[in-house]
Structure 1
Amino acid sequence: MDGTIEIYRDNCILSYEGKKEYFSCGNSSGAGKHVSLKLSDVLAVKVHVKAGTLKPYLVLHYVVQGKGMVLRTKSCIITGEADQHLRLKDAVDAILNSFHRPKRLVVFVNPNSGHRKGVNIFHNVVKPLFELCDISLKVIETVRPGEPKELLENYDLRLMDGLVAIGGDGMFSECMNGLLLRLQKDAQVDYNNPDAPLSASTLPIGIIPAGSGNMLVQYLHGTIDVETSVIKIILGDHLLSNAVSVHQGRTLSSYAGLIVDFGLCGDMMKDCEKFRWLGPKRYNIVPLGTILKRKSVNVEVEFIPEESNKAKAIHKSRKFARQMSLPASRLQFEKAVLRLNSTPEFAEDQKCWFKVTGNVYGIDSYVVTQKEKDGNLVPYFGDGVLHVWLTDKCSLSSHVSQLSLLQQLKPRCWDFKFIRHFRCRGYRVKLPCSPYYIDDCGDKKLKKPLYINCDGEAMRVDYPEFDVRLHHNAVPVFGRVG
């Protein structure tokens, strides 16, 4: 139940859970202007002492709506008798402590993301706001790719209320991969088996935009404003998001929280890696060359179709809870482990499987579903199915038109004859015509690797077969759409 605080010139009224409390202290800023706030918009209340007088006063910090989807912080000075200050502060603090807001966060900062501003963003914007709200931080500045996964492997997860990634979509993906992989090890899940159920996270992940690609932040908040992202994390609001696992060669290659694109988009990401020195500009320049040299791939795609009435999205939040997890080396588990599974085991009855074939330019699946609203595509988190699109061979001009509409988030981007669509909980891709060799272990390996765009990073496909599986509501993320 949300409450309110009314601040007048000479008094304050605190309303919460059907009760009202009156305080003989009031607003001395802005000529005593009346301030009315929801308690859920209050960030912190601090005691200050007026210089040279030793007379205390309060500063109430709160959130206001800026232009568009942007959030900003404001403050109000409250003066009056000292005993009234303390009583008001204690009352507000007690209410704020009853909210499910994070108090301990592990922050990963990628200093090389985007324009290399991650460290400055942390010190100038992120840290001051977290400290204002008495959130304790464990800050880790990464020095190499994959470091979050390495550090989370043995980190005591009970010591945090969430993770924060300062960087781009790739940094979020690294943190999500590290957390999910750690949880599978703790729960003794065979994560290399694509059909094994996934042990879901109760720890939310927040992302603060400082990278080349900030698509997930845009989806979550409707803006890539840094201060807005920090405020959303402080307020603790979060939603459940899906994850997708990609397996090849009987091994987990990666989890994805945003996008899995095989073919053309994978080639784009691979080509963009060669031009990292261009920074974010490379995403506007390099893909043009990739499109001009596009190549089709012969595929067989097997999947079990999902009927629309069988899987409905559930939008809910998990309350903050300590992730009951210890360093993997210290864990002893019984065989019957109770865990929260994000999705049931994938059906293996071959009679249920459908197969589509053809020469395609790409196989695209969005972990965050795009749905039509008011003539545009908007993000939809926690969908119960995975939407997959196959792009068949087509003229270059038609393909460019389709991709342009997709970039503009127009729903008609899928209304082309060369686009095929199906809904499923997972699928398997076979590459029957791609040349391969037999390695020393007797496994088939592609002579020339192909690529998947996995959350904005180019992931190699070394085997002539790979599996993609949806894990419903696998991880909470800080934020709220709309």
Structure 2
Amino acid sequence: MFSEIIHGLVWRTQIDNGVDPNCPDEDLSPCSHRIGIIPAGSTDCICFATVGTNDPVTSALHIIVGDSQPMDVCSVHHHNMFLRYSVSLLGYGFYGDVLTDSERKRWMGPARYDISGLKMFLTHHYYEGTVSYLPARGIIGTPRDAGRCRYGCAVCQHNGQIQSERAEKYKTNEDSECADDGEWRTIRGKFLAINAASMSCACPRSPKGLSPAAHLADGTTDLILVRKCSRFNFLRHLLRHTNKDDQFDLAFVEVHRVVRFRFTPRYCQSDSDLELDLLENGKRQIFSQICRDHPACGCTRTNSSWNCDGEILTHTAIDVRVHCRLIKLFARGIEELQVFADLSNPCVI
């Protein structure tokens, strides 16, 4: 329900302001209305990231009080065609496969996610493709910071202001697009998972979330790339989401804080890109070329699906852009517990 409300509100706001939602280069207009959430989902990750709990009473009180928490929104396009908006997780590979498989098991209830997760872990599919991204510039904070996004977050205020000023500058600079093109970075490889977390994505099963240091309103998303590895190593990565270990401190995992990224699966790449891949590998594999061009042979899966906030995207080649503080929720961010030095004298409180 929340996703549908987001889409309706953002889409209508753009139409009213004369913005073309199908153009990925358009700067979207912020929504003036606030959205209230009473948690009743399977993970409630948005409430955990904005309130700190999935308690319905707490969320209702934030609505009554009239709190306001800005949030970033990612627009997802496929060849200049709008697909969806995302506020939490975009996942390709493992998380996309889990969602796709679980949709066939809806009769099982919430247990379907556990069954599908185990099945996809044992299947151990990996996918080839190219990830291009624009790194966030001039910001404070990294995806591996110890600090977290909390009430009155200084990182969100600082970075959000920078992103807003940069957007205004690009509106008046005709060469802005050319300047952006020079900053793109490209990574080719085989990936078990490609995730973009616009918030921590914390939930009861993963108290830290997919990206613990992600921020709600700093105009960036954390791009997490999990390269092909053994099942044992991938299990190590997954288990670190449930404990205090750093899930990014692994040789096959890399994370980047970005403002925009694109993904092109290998079967959609141009001939020149494929030739470049072959030269980089230093060999030509004729039979794998045949199998890639003819996926019906069944030798391997050629593509996954994108998990966009719990919805399946069938288009795999996508262009994702972060729009800073596009919406507002009835929330105030997670508040830190106050720890007093002199607990022996309660009168000082």
TM-score greater than 0.5 by the shorter chain: yes
**389-398 or 307-316, which deviates more:** 307-316
Whether 1:420 aligns to 2:254 is yes
Q: Which amino acid aligns with 1:354?
A: R
Whether 1:248 aligns to 2:78 is yes
Q: How far 1:382 sits from its partner (Å)?
A: 0.7
Hey, what does 2:195 align to over in structure 1?
Answer: 364
- 1:295-334 to structure 2, matched below 5 A, reads 295-309=125-139, 312-314=155-157
Hey, what does 1:177 align to over in structure 2?
Answer: 7
Checking the alignment, whether the CA contact within 8 Å between 2:130 and 2:264 is kept in structure 1 is yes
C-alpha separation in 1, matches of 2:15 and 2:245: 40
- Please give the secondary structure, in 1, of the residue aligned with 2:37: strand
C-alpha separation in 1, matches of 2:227 and 2:97: 16
State the structure with bigger RCO (CA 8 A, min sep 6), 1 or 2.
2
Query: Going by fraction, where is helix more abundant, 1 or 2?
Result: 2
- Choose which of 10, 33, 57 in structure 2 pairs with 1:203: 33
Checking the alignment, whether the CA contact within 8 Å between 1:299 and 1:432 is kept in structure 2 is yes
- Please give the secondary structure, in 1, of the residue aligned with 2:137: coil
Hey, what does 2:277 align to over in structure 1?
Answer: none
Q: Percent identity?
A: 29
Checking the alignment, whether the CA contact within 8 Å between 1:261 and 1:362 is kept in structure 2 is yes
Q: How far 1:308 sits from its partner (Å)?
A: 4.6
Unaligned stretches of 5+ in structure 1? 1-170, 317-339, 437-445
- Please give the secondary structure, in 2, of the residue aligned with 1:314: helix
- Please give the secondary structure, in 1, of the residue aligned with 2:20: coil
Q: How far 1:385 sits from its partner (Å)?
A: 2.0
C-alpha separation in 1, matches of 2:167 and 2:245: 28
C-alpha separation in 1, matches of 2:70 and 2:39: 20
Checking the alignment, whether the CA contact within 8 Å between 1:212 and 1:279 is kept in structure 2 is no
C-alpha separation in 1, matches of 2:65 and 2:31: 19
Would you say how many aligned residue pairs link Structure 1 and Structure 2? 275
- Choose which of 211, 220, 223 in structure 2 pairs with 1:385: 220
* RMSD of aligned alpha carbons: 3.0
Hey, what does 2:319 align to over in structure 1?
Answer: 467
Hey, what does 2:48 align to over in structure 1?
Answer: 218
Greater Rg over alpha carbons, structure: 1
Q: How far 1:347 sits from its partner (Å)?
A: 3.7
Whether 1:186 aligns to 2:40 is no
Whether 1:281 aligns to 2:115 is no
Q: How far 1:417 sits from its partner (Å)?
A: 0.4
* Residues 471 and 251 of structure 1: CA distance in aligned 2, closer, same or farther (over 3 Å): same
- 1:28-427 to structure 2, matched below 5 A, reads 171-309=1-139, 312-314=155-157, 347-349=177-179, 350-369=181-200, 376=208, 377=212, 380-406=215-241, 408=242, 410=244, 412-427=246-261
* Residues 449 and 361 of structure 1: CA distance in aligned 2, closer, same or farther (over 3 Å): closer
TM-score, structure 2 normalization: 0.71
TM-score, structure 1 normalization: 0.52
- Please give the secondary structure, in 1, of the residue aligned with 2:217: coil
* Residues 200 and 455 of structure 1: CA distance in aligned 2, closer, same or farther (over 3 Å): same
C-alpha separation in 1, matches of 2:260 and 2:112: 32
- The C-alpha deviation readout for 1:190-211, integer Å capped at 9, x for no partner, is 1111111011112111111122
Query: Going by fraction, where is strand more abundant, 1 or 2?
Result: 1
* Residues 235 and 193 of structure 1: CA distance in aligned 2, closer, same or farther (over 3 Å): same
Whether 1:431 aligns to 2:265 is yes
- The C-alpha deviation readout for 1:89-110, integer Å capped at 9, x for no partner, is xxxxxxxxxxxxxxxxxxxxxx
- Please give the secondary structure, in 1, of the residue aligned with 2:192: strand
Checking the alignment, whether the CA contact within 8 Å between 1:449 and 1:461 is kept in structure 2 is no
Hey, what does 2:299 align to over in structure 1?
Answer: none
Q: How far 1:411 sits from its partner (Å)?
A: 5.3
Unaligned stretches of 5+ in structure 2? 142-154, 171-175, 271-294, 297-301, 336-349
